[in-house]
Amino acid sequence: MAQKLNFFPTPYPDECFYSIFCRYYVRSGISSPMAATKLFFGCDRSLLVSTVYFPRKLERLDYWVNPDSGITGRQLICEHTAYPYHSISYVNDIYQQMEEAIQDGIPENGIENLIRRMVGKCKYVSAGQYLRYCPECAKEDIKKYGETYWHRLPQLPGVKICPKHGCSVKNSSAPFEGMRVRIYPASYILRQMEDRTGCQKLQYK
Ligand SMILES: [Zn+2]
């Protein structure tokens, strides 16, 4: 792929893959979610939900970034997707092939078939699910980076409190169901919720 994407947002700590794309969308100035998805992923928006958890279309890495950017497939898989949390539950050959891609780099023909199998086994995207966040993390992001982003940890099933702040993880107003039509950058969604989102400690009874 000779042509390059005009820029790729530098991933923030524990940012989920979907969020990196959201920040690309905002900064690209492209108004059509459909056009932005096509340019970035080379396909339609039906895959966007899965990018909350999975590294989709990694064969486009050379199109997204220059090799000297230091951004690698290994980094995207290990630091920006749910793979490390769920690798143990994958059947052996999925695990083995993914570990090879992490160790040896993304093969030229990509790992999209493998990712599709992983998505197929994914049981944790359910109806009525929203992107989630910790209010204190969002505040800290804004102070530190001037914007917030979707963190990976609150999206994982069973995570109810932020381990860093002890706050209850909250649902945002961004539903998974809407991702086929809209793109939900955290900086927009969480700004709207700003006034209503203090830290609430989880009460154990
Ligand atoms: Zn937090």
Residue type, 21: F
Query: Does 122 score more than 70 pLDDT?
Result: yes
pLDDT band at 194 (very low <50, low <70, confident <90, very high): low
pLDDT digits (tens, 9 = 90+) for 67-93: 899 999 999 999 999 999 888 888 899
**CA–CA dist 6, 39 (Å, integer):** 10
What is the whole-number distance in angstroms between the Cα of residue 139 and the centre of ligand 1? 9
Q: Is 181 helix (H, G, I), strand (E, B) or coil?
A: coil
pLDDT digits (tens, 9 = 90+) for 25-55: 999 999 999 999 999 999 988 899 999 999 9
Residue type, 70: G
Q: Residue 29: how many CA atoms within 13 Å on its side-chain side? A: 2
Per-residue pLDDT averaged across 170-178, rounded? 94
**CA–CA dist 162, 67 (Å, integer):** 34
Question: What's this model's pTM, rounded to 2 decimal places?
Answer: 0.92
What is the whole-number distance in angstroms between the Cα of residue 104 and the centre of ligand 1? 34
Domain ranges of the chain: 17-121, 130-196
The mean pLDDT of the chain is 90
| Beta bridge partner(s), residue 161 | 168
What is the whole-number distance in angstroms between the Cα of residue 188 and the centre of ligand 1? 18
